[in-house]
């Protein structure tokens, strides 16, 4: 079933060999992307990597120096109007006319994208973004989180095929972040979503696929599940009230290294295929080490991310 959907899923956004320079400084070097319907792509990268510039080019706000962009099969440069009607874009700074009320603003955004009947779309988008009670409020009086919601609402009100979100959860509180992530996942079922972020948790929780950008190049591209397994070394934290010498722990079959964190607390690392957990437990019981804590640990996304970006910095 999953193979079938993968084959039939249409490609909604494709960018080939984008380059962009500002003056003499080339910020994007031959970047290519592809996005299918029903997919959430996370564009990950450190500050100044070229994420926002890439998204600006994908939405027609900036013209690339070379390269092609197609949205739903329509060339963005040759037919900008037709291509952009499939697009919803939330820039880094939310483009809000602060003096308007939420309803007026959203209706304007919908009409701008060529919608004629806006009443039902407006009601639906307000419900999705949790803005039901804010329709008549002036945007400048809303809190940052609500303004961000209005920004997302304007990007999706016309149900576009491609939704581009530039750091959608910046400045939100944890509950709002959770809501927005749920919303993005929902959107990703029918449209394709591309979002930029430097929050790894965001990638982990909402994205199907990750592209890591560094210095204007894609340096890593894979599903987010795969990324979590990238270069993984498994390990566990153990606490023993009556610990044996370090060498004894290190000599257990499968253990690759043991590190003493404090008196009685150790970090045990082992290769992915040989988990020494059960051996360790039985030895602890037989030798009276008095085990009080046994916590499996995973390499965090942060560690993996740093590993990937470091690697490319050393051998670009």
Partner 1 sequence: MIRLIAMRELKSLFALPSTWFMLAALQFVFAWFFLARLEAFLEIQPQLAQLANPPGVTITVAAPVFNMAALLLLMLTPMFTMRLIAEERRNQTFALLLSAPLGSRQIVLGKFLGLMIFLSLLIADIPLMLYTLALGTSLDHGMLLGNMLGLLLLTASYVALGLYVSALTVQPLIAAIGALCVLAGLWLADIGAAADDSPWHLISPLNHFQNFNVGLLDSNDAVFFLLFSSFFLLLTMRRLDNNRSYG
Q: Which residues bind partner 1 (CB under 8 A)?
A: 22, 56, 59-63, 80-85, 87, 89, 91-100, 104, 108-109, 111-114, 138, 154
**CB 74 → partner 1: shortest distance, Å?**
11
Q: Which of 269, 274, 256, 260 is nearest to 296 (CA)?
A: 269
Which CB, 36 or 84, lies closer to partner 1? 84
Which CB, 83 or 236, lies closer to partner 1? 83
Which CB, 139 or 268, lies closer to partner 1? 139
Q: What is the dihedral of CA 247, 251, 255, 259, to 10 degrees?
A: 0
Q: DSSP string covering 250-262, please?
A: HTSTTEEEEEEEE
- What is the C-alpha end-to-end distance of the chain, expressed in Å? 38
**CB 169 → partner 1: shortest distance, Å?**
18
**CB 134 → partner 1: shortest distance, Å?**
16
Q: Which of 86, 60, 54, 59 is nearest to 72 (CA)?
A: 86
Which CB, 113 or 126, lies closer to partner 1? 113
Which CB, 24 or 175, lies closer to partner 1? 24
**CB 37 → partner 1: shortest distance, Å?**
20
**CB 92 → partner 1: shortest distance, Å?**
8
Q: Where are the beta strands (DSSP E) in the chain?
A: 11-22, 25-36, 40-44, 66-71, 74-75, 87-90, 162-166, 192-197, 209-214, 217-223, 234-240, 255-262, 265-270, 291-297
Buried b / exposed e over 216-228, threshold 16 CB at 10 Å, is: bbbbbbeebeebb
Which CB, 44 or 139, lies closer to partner 1? 139
Phi/psi at 174 (5° precision): -55, -40
Six token digits for residue 2: 């999953």
**CB 53 → partner 1: shortest distance, Å?**
9
Cα 222 to Cα 239: distance, rounded to the nearest angstrom: 36
């Amino acid at each position: 079933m999953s193979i079938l959907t993968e084959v039939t899923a249409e490609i909604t956004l494709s960018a080939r060999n984008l380059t962009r320079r500002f003056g003499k400084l080339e910020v994007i070097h031959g970047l290519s992307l592809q996005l299918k319907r029903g997919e959430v792509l996370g564009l990950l990268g450190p500050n100044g990597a070229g994420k926002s510039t890439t998204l600006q080019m994908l939405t027609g706000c900036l013209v690339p120096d070379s390269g092609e962009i197609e949205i739903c099969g329509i060339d963005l440069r040759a037919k900008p109007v037709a291509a952009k009607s499939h697009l919803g874009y939330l820039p880094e700074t939310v483009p809000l006319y602060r003096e308007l009320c939420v309803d007026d603003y959203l209706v304007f955004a919908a009409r701008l994208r060529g919608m004629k009947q806006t009443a039902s779309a407006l009601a639906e988008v307000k419900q999705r973004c949790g803005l039901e009670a804010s329709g008549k409020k002036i945007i400048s009086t809303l809190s940052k989180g609500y303004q961000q919601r209005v920004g997302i609402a304007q990007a999706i009100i016309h149900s576009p095929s491609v939704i581009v979100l530039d750091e959608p959860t910046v400045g939100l509180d944890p509950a709002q972040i959770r809501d927005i992530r749920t919303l993005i996942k929902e959107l990703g079922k029918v449209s394709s979503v591309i979002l930029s972020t430097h929050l790894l948790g965001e990638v982990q929780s909402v994205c199907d696929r990750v592209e890591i950008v560094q210095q204007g190049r894609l340096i890593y591209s894979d599903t987010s599940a795969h990324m979590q397994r990238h270069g993984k070394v498994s390990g566990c934290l153990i606490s023993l009230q009556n610990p044996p010498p370090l060498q004894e722990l290190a000599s257990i079959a499968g253990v690759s290294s043991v590190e003493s964190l404090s008196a009685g607390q150790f970090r045990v690392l082992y290769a992915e295929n040989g988990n020494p957990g059960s051996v360790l437990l039985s030895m602890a019981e037989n030798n009276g080490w008095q085990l009080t804590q046994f916590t499996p640990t995973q390499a965090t996304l942060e560690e993996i991310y740093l590993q990937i970006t470091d690697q490319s910095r050393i051998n670009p």
